[in-house]
């Protein structure tokens, strides 16, 4: 059983295809770190939500979890909603050690990758 | 006057701080390509919208524009709303040559940067 888990926390959308890039990121992480339990969780529209994802990991024997918000910016969702969701998740899984990273869009290397993409991406949106 | 423009098209949010990462990405692109007119445009909550951004670029002498959707996934916003917005923008600025790239989150290098961030990001969300 993996002792460590990693949750990619994303917004969610009504269209199931919206989650494909997040599943691809999760697969890349899992390929690099087979020892980690890597899962997705969503703010709305998609399941599981964060409390359910953490409870699932705890049920699988995970003791420490890193939550990574895959959001570009820190608006109301991350500033206002997320702390309450995180608190609810911690109450539901009190023995889990939970750490949270900044939002992905705040990271300089991610910003550089986006700038690079903007300049080299092919036409065909 | 720059002949070429680049528009970073993002969702928008009520909290002005939400746009900071997008402004940072625009600044990185502008630093690498001082010859480009680089601007932001938003789907909702923030200004300018895409038609206004393209009309502004056209008014500054830009003749060709690349529109880069800074979205992770392709859900209803990109599949349903965006084509109509793009069409309205093209009607408003008919002489502009407009090309559109895929969504940033669909790009493998962007996904790799996100996976890398998820594994190395410090605590402190």
**A33 shares contact with chain B (CB less than 8 Å):** yes
E-assigned strands of chain A?
Answer: 4-10, 37-42, 64-69, 97-100
Local confidence pLDDT in tens for the 125 residues of chain B: 689 999 999 999 999 999 999 999 999 999 999 999 999 999 999 999 999 999 999 999 999 999 999 999 888 888 889 999 999 999 999 999 999 999 999 999 999 999 999 999 988 85
Q: Do the strands B4-10 and B37-42 form a parallel or antiparallel pair, or are they unpaired?
A: parallel
Residue A61 gets which letter from DSSP? T
- Name the residue with tokens 């290397």: A109
Taking an 8 Å cut-off on Cβ atoms, the answer to whether B117 and A104 are in contact is: yes
ipTM: 0.95
Residues A62 and A3 sit within 8 Å (Cβ to Cβ): yes
**A60 shares contact with chain B (CB less than 8 Å):** no
Q: Which of A19, A29, A103 sits opposite B73 (nearest CB)?
A: A19
CA distance B121 to B86: 36
Q: What pLDDT score was predicted for residue B125?
A: 58
Q: Which of A115, A116, A124 to mutate to test the interface with B (most CBs of B within 10 A)?
A: A115
Q: What pLDDT score was predicted for residue B66?
A: 97
Q: What pLDDT score was predicted for residue A125?
A: 57
Q: What is the token pair recorded at B124?
A: 């402190």
CA distance B7 to A124: 15
User: Shortest CA distance to A9 belongs to which of A47, A42, A49?
Assistant: A42
**Total H helices, total E strands in chain B:** 5, 4
> Considering only alpha carbons, which residue of chain B is nearest residue A105?
B21
Q: For B11-68, give the DSSP string.
A: ---SSGGGGHHHHHHHHHHHHH-TTSEEEEEESSSSS--HHHHHHHHHHTT--EEEEE
Q: How far is CA A56 from the centre of its chain?
A: 15
Is B77 considered catalytic here?
Answer: no
């Amino acid at each position: 059983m993996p002792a460590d888990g990693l949750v990619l926390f994303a917004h969610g959308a009504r269209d199931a295809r919206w989650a494909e890039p997040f599943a691809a990121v999760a697969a890349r992480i899992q390929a690099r770190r087979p020892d980690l339990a890597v899962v997705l969780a969503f703010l709305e529209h998609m399941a599981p939500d964060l409390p359910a994802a953490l409870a699932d990991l705890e049920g699988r024997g995970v003791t420490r979890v890193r939550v990574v918000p895959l959001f570009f910016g820190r608006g109301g969702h991350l500033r206002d909603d997320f702390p309450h969701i995180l608190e609810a998740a911690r109450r539901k899984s009190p023995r889990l050690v939970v750490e949270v990273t900044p939002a992905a869009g705040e990271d300089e290397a991610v910003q550089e990758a986006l700038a690079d993409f903007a300049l080299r991406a092919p036409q065909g949106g």
